[in-house]
Amino acid sequence: MFNEFRPQQTEPSVHMPKDYEKLWDSCLNVIRQNVNQQSFKTWFGPIRPVKLEGPVLTIQVPNKFFYEWLEEHYVNLLKKSIHQELGPEGRLEYQVLLPSANQPVTEKEDHGPILPTDQIKNPFVIPGIKKLKIESRLNPIYTFKNYVEGDCNRLARSAGMAVAKKPGETAFNPLFIFGDVGLGKTHLAHAVGNDVLQNQPNKTVLYVSSEKFTNQFIQSLKNNATDDFVNFYQMIDVLIVDDIQFLANKKKTQEIFFHIFNQLHQSGKQLILTSDRPPKDLDGMEERLISRFKWGLSADLSAPDFETRIAILEKKMNREGVELPYNVTEFICFNIKKNIRELEGVLISLIAQSSLNRQEIDIDLAKNVIKKFVSQISKEITVEFIQKLVAEHFDVSVEKLQGKTRKRSIVIARQLSMYLAKNMTNQSLKAIGENFGGRDHSTVIYSCKAVSDLLDTDPFFKDTVDELEKKIKMSLHG
């Protein structure tokens, strides 16, 4: 293979000598002539030269997906550019960085927190194991900084931050985080662990999935080493167990976990558990365990609202070093509503399709990509349709909704039209305002706030809004 992947442990270069920059700029001039503007911006803009040693230029790329995509789709172009500048012996090497910390990351670290079994030594079969040998197995990308707060997760995130500051010393022990798949339970649990490691390095933190815990326990039974197994887990200061629901109907594993839980809790150690359901709904789990899960705080993660989904997607875009047109961002978040992982999947697929097909990212491309993630994309609702529906309901003309009259009944109808347009279309605030006589985005924001206030105080008005929303949704299937 032309390019060589050698993750390094050196600090990324800050002040790069001019010869690095000039050489890479020359390579970019060659590349720019052979790819479209969007592909160049997405795949070559974020690259930074690191060092030049003989015929080898080392460059930094944001993540492993980035590296693999370059190798698969642009290896010949890279080869052409580097040979033109360094001769036939010229070649590239890569540094893959963690965007959140701007640190080089090894290939092994980039696979995530779950390590292959053959790379994990059973710690409990080693008598007298020292704490220094216990690896946390946390994903360093999962931090509070990368975790977007919204109404859907505010309680859980606040509790997690409190636990991180004083593990084992708050009333949130255990911290039981539950919610549907893809809502950020694992991310939040890792964020707590990473924060503890950063600010309290003397603490021993361990992440383990319930499947891994079960397999380790079975292995300890085979080796007659259950005492070593329990002793190992007693050494942990912050124990994070992911997907605790998978312990259901595993009586012996539940029994050993019950004893470990008690010992850690009584010793003032912190437990963090994640599940796809609240403790009361954990079928197949011993009642004594369920009662202990309820000792601390059970924090629910719900599906993020539209604004939070926008913020999450923009955070992921920033992390990946890419930009999308805002109307495309809105369209994605309008259609992907319940699974944060799917947002990331759509983003990666979108930039990949754009680069592969040399196509600008627009609504049409986004529709084609999203079809793979959702069974049916919502038919596009227009601002004009909403205006017409509201005007008919309030028995006013669309022209008056778009006009400047300040008559209260028309003002309310206009504000409600803006509110519905914001929540049920893919239009930006600016575009919505332009559909109402050229008003600016601040007017739209004010109108939406006014409608929200009325919804909280006027039941009759709420019934009106519910009725209009039902009519609009029915139009999707008409």
Average pLDDT over residues 73-97: 84
> Is residue 126 pLDDT above 60, yes or no?
no
Convert the pLDDT of each residue in 364-375 to its tens digit: 777 777 776 665
Give start-end residues of each CATH 3.30.300.180 domain in the chain: 4-104
Q: How confident is the model at residue 199 (pLDDT cuts 50, 70, 90)?
A: very high
CATH of region 306-370: 1.10.8.60
Measured between alpha carbons, how far is 281 from 244 in angstroms, rounded to an integer?
Answer: 12
Lowest mean per-residue pLDDT among 27-36, 344-353, 403-412: 344-353
pLDDT of the residue at 372 = 67
> Is residue 278 pLDDT above 70, yes or no?
yes
Q: Which of 137, 191, 138, 133 is nearest to 167 (CA)?
A: 191
Contact 52, 13 (CB under 8 A): no
pLDDT of the residue at 379 = 55
The reply to whether CATH 1.10.150.20 applies to domain 383-475 is: no
The reply to whether CATH 3.40.50.300 applies to domain 116-301 is: yes
Tell the residue number behind the tokens 């955070």, with chain if given: 315
pLDDT of the residue at 224 = 84
Say how far residue 349 (Cα) sits from the centre of its chain: 15
Q: Which fold has domain 4-104?
A: GMP Synthetase; Chain A, domain 3 (3.30.300)
pTM of the complete model: 0.53
Convert the pLDDT of each residue in 54-68 to its tens digit: 888 888 887 666 676
The single-letter code of the amino acid at 434 is: E
Helices (H), 151-294: 154-165, 185-199, 210-222, 226-234, 251-266, 287-293
Q: How confident is the model at residue 116 (pLDDT cuts 50, 70, 90)?
A: very low
In angstroms, what CA-CA distances link 347 with 106, 162, 324, 328, 373? 24, 32, 9, 10, 11
pLDDT of the residue at 380 = 62
Cβ-Cβ contacts under 8 Å for 198 (sequence gap 6 or more): none
Give start-end residues of each CATH 1.10.8.60 domain in the chain: 306-370
Lowest mean per-residue pLDDT among 220-224, 357-361, 446-450: 357-361
Contact 454, 465 (CB under 8 A): no
Express as a percent the part of the chain with pLDDT over 70: 83
Contact 425, 354 (CB under 8 A): no
Running DSSP on this structure, what letter comes out for residue 74? S
Measured between alpha carbons, how far is 330 from 424 in angstroms, rounded to an integer?
Answer: 11
pLDDT of the residue at 239 = 96
Express as a percent the part of the chain with pLDDT over 90: 21
> Is residue 234 pLDDT above 70, yes or no?
yes
Give start-end residues of each CATH 3.40.50.300 domain in the chain: 116-301
Lowest mean per-residue pLDDT among 9-13, 167-171, 351-355: 9-13
Measured between alpha carbons, how far is 30 from 267 in angstroms, rounded to an integer?
Answer: 63
Give start-end residues of each CATH 1.10.1750.10 domain in the chain: 383-475
Alpha-carbon torsion (208, 212, 218, 221), positive or negative: negative
pLDDT of the residue at 112 = 32
- CB neighbours of residue 281 within 10 Å: 12
Convert the pLDDT of each residue in 140-161 to its tens digit: 889 998 888 887 888 889 889 9
Q: State both tokens at 404.
A: 């400047």
Convert the pLDDT of each residue in 185-195 to its tens digit: 999 999 999 99
> Is residue 261 pLDDT above 90, yes or no?
yes
Q: State both tokens at 72.
A: 């698969």
What average pLDDT does the chain have? 79
> Is residue 262 pLDDT above 50, yes or no?
yes
Average pLDDT over residues 412-422: 91
Q: Which helix (H) or strand (E) is 301 found in, with range?
A: strand 297-301
Average pLDDT over residues 231-241: 90
Q: How confident is the model at residue 376 (pLDDT cuts 50, 70, 90)?
A: very low
> Is residue 42 pLDDT above 60, yes or no?
yes
Convert the pLDDT of each residue in 296-331 to its tens digit: 888 888 888 878 888 888 887 777 677 777 877 877
pLDDT of the residue at 97 = 65
Contact 235, 134 (CB under 8 A): yes
pLDDT of the residue at 247 = 92
Say how many Å lie between the first and final Cα of the chain, rounded: 55
Average pLDDT over residues 420-435: 85
